Amino acid sequence: MPIAFTNAMGTGLSLLMIDKLGRRYMMLRFLPFVALGMFMIATGMYIEYYTDVTPATIGQFVAFSGVLFFVLMFSSGNATPAWAINAEIFPIHLIGTASALATASGGLADFIVTSFFLIMLETDAGKVYSFCILGCNCLLAWLFIYFLVPETANKSIQENIK
């Protein structure tokens, strides 16, 4: 329940900010915090499996706090803007096909990441490293957005496809 509530709260926040701040702006500002959430989860897993900290629930608390922080930051600054940009960067005559291909590519990427993620979680080291890798991927996504993704807010589709 707390994760679903956090996701709904972040999505509502995103809807309030997306046109005022801009899609690219939001993603660039929130992605470092999304990465921080991943590193918090990795830290919690490390505490849980590799330290003698008592009580052991400290690691669980840090990991769960990281999950909530990740969900809040991702739903606030990355989920909604990514879908908005997807709908705004394609020419009108290609938008249906291009959006379908983008969605299918996302689904395929989700399948691949989920498959490897489940395998990695089978070991204690994998429980730590998998979240570190995901956090680093967030930082790489930041670079991708910074250098390659245009701001589409408050522009017509004709302006965006230039």
Q: How far is CA 152 from CA 94, 113, 156, 162, in A?
A: 17, 28, 8, 11
Report DSSP letters for 50-67, one per residue.
H---SSTHHHHHHHHHHH
pLDDT digits (tens, 9 = 90+) for 1-53: 899 999 999 999 999 999 999 999 999 999 999 999 999 999 999 999 998 88
pLDDT digits (tens, 9 = 90+) for 110-152: 999 999 999 999 999 999 999 999 999 999 999 999 999 999 8
Neighbours of 162 (CB within 10 A): 6
pTM of the model: 0.90
Instruction: Assign 39 to helix, strand or coil.
Output: helix
